[in-house]
Chain A
């Protein structure tokens, strides 16, 4: 089993953090193997940002995405740049207010969530990536809910944990609901 996940968006959206948390959740808390890489070429806030996670039962060989099973996007430019990285029949997960898919996405499974809007409702747009992670966890089951939360807990400063927990659960519950539809 080799699962490839690519996160894409803009600098400042927590795209790198999302990848790191996911990869660590799989490796440390789910007991699998994973590799996490990030694009260092445009780290500036507002520039394109992307990170990649490979999860496997065995040691990860090639550590980057060849054809992604899951593409998690939070900007239109990321959609434009990375859609062709998604494999046939793959799953596209997007913030529906920030990404408008066109006909090129017709053959993919698409799951949409207004993550940034939810984050603003919760109190801080900065947790949009954590909402996306909750949503991703519920939709894909690639990483267990427990593992993902533990990995978030480890990464986020204590004083923001409560906010992040609400964000994670919001995304997760929304994902459970969308999966049933």
Chain B
């Protein structure tokens, strides 16, 4: 896109952000409220020489992007909670075989079919724990149309850099809300490419990690004779079904994210410096919390907001940093609340089952209660 100002929805910004990040392959299956991402990609990707395909379901969609990623392309799919439930099988495959992919989940009211057009934040734990096994992914969650665009660039950069699935969360409100957005000139966008092997094929163990715990990734068709398997494997990529191989591989898959967590963390600390009470919030919900914090300040209550932009790996040091009571405001019946509670005992949950975010008044009342 030409640099300049646009008036876009979160869905459009997600698609355009992906393209700006270098995404050239999209496979997906329509689902509210993410369908506009697919529509935009169908329109725009072929203009950029990229590929768009509408698959038969979400399972096929994520399988296709994992396959395409091995050809060296930056790839993405987008869906909502029901689609993530189906994709989780291959999110595990991408984590296990270390394939960079970006998966957008436009969260809606749930469980099951729930509230297709209305907001929910019930998939925060699913983002991390959806597939079977112990693994780490990266999850990001913006709160505005502008940040959706900007953060998509980070999402692709993280996926490429760490060879990991990035679960990009938005929500039904953000997906469909329109705001002004600035698209920067192309040369101002920083794009990270995955590491490629520097040794010739015959000397390369395709799953041998560097010191940063991340193995360089060869592309199909270059003679590396890649073998990738969802089975527990060794540095050659060959199945090795032993506790020792499991220990080495699974520990590294987790450690390569955990050891880089601080580089991955993005948190907005809004008026927290002198705060007596901090509300933790994410995504669209944080817009209400921001207003509530301002209203509380007008009443003389020193309130602040910690807005988690990186949800996973969980940015716990920011919770530990403040010795004040916390409120976790989220559109579910307690998810990130439990994570926060791991790091402080003084925390209260402000839940909502879904369909709308908290009214600023509701958050303000919770703040008042907490400081009494």
Contact = CB atoms under 8 A, between A and B. Distances in A.
21 contacts: A24-B178, A28-B7, A28-B180, A33-B180, A35-B179, A36-B179, A37-B177, A38-B176, A40-B33, A40-B117, A41-B117, A60-B179, A60-B287, A61-B288, A61-B290, A61-B360, A62-B291, A63-B173, A63-B177, A63-B287, A66-B359
A22 to B, nearest CB: 11
B150 interface: no
A109 interface: no
A60 B288 CA distance: 10
Nearest to A59: B144
Contacts of A27: 5, 7, 179-180
B284 interface: yes
A34 interface: yes
Contact of B294 (A34, A40, A61, A66): A61
Interface in B1-53: 5-7, 32-33
A20 B287 CA distance: 20
Contacts of A34: 179-180
Given A61-B290, A61-B291, A62-B360, A40 B284 contact: no
Given A20-B178, A33-B179, A36-B179, 11 more contacts: A24-B178, A28-B6, A35-B178, A35-B179, A37-B173, A38-B176, A40-B33, A61-B288, A61-B290, A62-B287, A66-B359
Contacts, number: 58
A128 to B, nearest CB: 22
B201 to A, nearest CB: 52
A148 interface: no
A60 B117 CA distance: 22
Nearest to A36: B178
A23 interface: yes
A15 B291 CA distance: 27
Contact of A40 (B144, B176, B290): B176
Q: Which 7 A-B pairs have the closest CB atoms?
A: A40-B117, A27-B180, A61-B291, A36-B178, A24-B7, A61-B290, A62-B291
Contacts of A38: 176
Contacts of B360: 61-62, 66
A63 B5 contact: no
Judged by DSSP, the binding face of A is: mixed
Interface in A112-167: none
A41 to B, nearest CB: 6
B180 A63 contact: no
Contacts of A63: 173, 177, 284, 287
A21 B161 CA distance: 41
Contacts of B32: 40
Contacts of A33: 179-180
Interface string A34-58: 1111101100000000000000000
Contacts of B173: 37, 63
A33 B288 CA distance: 16
Interface in B342-372: 357, 359-361
A133 B294 CA distance: 32
A87 to B, nearest CB: 14
Nearest to A2: B291
Nearest to A20: B178
Nearest to A51: B178
Nearest to A39: B117
- Most-contacted residue by chain A among B33, B118, B180, B290 (CB, 10 A): B180
A62 B117 contact: no
Contacts of B178: 20, 23-24, 35-37
A35 B357 CA distance: 15
B205 to A, nearest CB: 50
A78 to B, nearest CB: 19
Contacts of B7: 23-24, 27-28, 36
Interface in B169-214: 173, 176-180
Contacts of B359: 62, 66
Nearest to B144: A59
B284 to A, nearest CB: 7
Contacts of B177: 35-37, 63
A90 to B, nearest CB: 18
A23 to B, nearest CB: 6
A92 to B, nearest CB: 23
Contacts of A24: 7, 178
Contacts of B287: 60-63
A110 to B, nearest CB: 27
A37 B176 contact: yes
Contacts of B290: 61
Interface in A162-176: none
Nearest to B294: A61
A28 B5 contact: yes
